[in-house]
Amino acid sequence: MNLPTNKRPETGVTDFDAWVKSVWQVVQGIPRGHVLTYGEVARLAGMSRAARRVSQAMRRAPRGMTLPWHRVVNAQGKISFPEDSSGYLRQKNRLEQEGVVFMNGKIDLDRYGYRGALDHLLWSEPL
DNA sequence: ACAATGACGCCTC
DNA sequence: AGAGGCGCCATTG
């Protein structure tokens, strides 16, 4: 449906560049205390197969821009940084500070993920 | 120009 | 549940 990478002669902007901006918006829309997977972000931004590109997009965010990057995890409900890395710990701490609970290094996506967020909207389950 | 690299996901076994 | 294998695709070396 949407295959990017076509340069527009005038602007020099690629479809991928445009998609990157959508990614920022999607990520900024993730409510505090909830998470989305890379695949979900990619899909919501308009490229269903671009899960691996989401991290690139977030790294491209301008310096001043606040992006809740820590609210993006992989489809297994786990943090995608190596466990021994500082990034892993930073992300985990930020999430726990928002009330997200880890069990055996995993987040319950039915509770904190996309569907979980919908449930909260529908019948206001306590977090 | 070409091969390797990921903050991934899905399907199999 | 968990480990492999493979497809993905812009970027990097």
* pLDDT per residue as tens digits for the range A54-64: 999 999 999 99
Chain segment A31-46, per-residue pLDDT in tens: 999 999 999 999 999 9
- H or E stretch covering A102: strand A102-103
Per CA to C1' distance, which residue is closest to C10?
A: A53
Nearest nucleotide relative to A79: CA against C1' = B7
Average pLDDT, chain A: 89
pLDDT at A53 over 60: yes
Residue corresponding to tokens 């691996």: A52
Q: How far is CA A62 from the centre of its chain?
A: 17
Nearest nucleotide relative to A58: CA against C1' = B7
Whether the predicted model's global pTM rises above the 0.85 cut: yes
A36 within 8 A of A26, measured Cβ to Cβ:
yes
Residues by CB within 7 A of strand B: list them. Answer: A 37-40, 51-55, 58-59, 69-70, 72, 74-76, 80-81, 87, 91
